[in-house]
Amino acid sequence: MTLPEYQRHCHWMEQAIALAQAAGDAGEVPVGAIVVGPDGTAIAAAENRRERDSDPTAHAEILALRKAGNILQTWHLNQCTLYVTLEPCPMCAGALVLARLGLLVYGADDPKAGAVRSVLNIPDSACSNHCLPVIGGILESSCRQQLQSWFAQRRFRQL
C-alpha cells in the first residue's frame, strides 16, 4: 500500500470513528461505517442504531449499505469502499458479499464475532460468490480503544 493510499484510508477511518463516538454517546455499541464511491467522496454514513431503532439488523454496515444502494439506485456496490471501525459480523459480512462491495477497510479485529478474518472468513468461503478485497487494521489501536473504553464504562456503571 502506498503512503497516499494509507493516508486516504486513515482519513475515512477517522470519519468512521467520529460516527462510532456518536453511537456510543447515544448508548449504542460504538461502531461507525462510511461508504465511499468511485470518485472518492462519501456516499453514505451510518452508526449502530440497534437500541434506538429496536432493530437487530441496524448495524452501521447494513445501514450504510442501504443508504448507498438507495443513493446510487443499485445494489451493486462493486466500485465502492466501505470503511468500518470493527470487523464485520456474519450478517454484515454476508451483506458485503451480496452487495459485491469493491473493498472493505476495517479498523479493529473482532475476536468474538468477526466474520472476515478473526473467527470466520465469509468473503473467502465456498459460500461466497464474490471476491471481496479486505484491508484490516487501519487505525486499529484507536478503534479498539474506543470500543474497550465504552465497554469498560458500561461495566463500571453496572457495579
Instruction: Tell which residue, 133, 139, 138, 98, has the closest CA to residue 116.
Output: 133
Partner residues linked to 34 by β-bridges:
45, 83
For residue 109, count other CB atoms closer than 10 A to its CB: 18
Per DSSP, 138 falls in state T
Q: Phi and psi (nearest 5°) for 132?
A: -100, 110
Q: Are 108 and 85 in contact (CB under 8 A)?
A: yes
Out of 5, 61, 87, 140, the active site residue is 61
Residue 137 backbone class (left: φ over 0; alpha: ψ -120 to 50; beta: rest): left
Alpha carbon 71 to its chain's center: 18
How far apart CA 117 and CA 111 sit, in angstroms, is: 9
Our answer to whether residue 61 is catalytic in this structure is yes
Residues classed as catalytic: 61
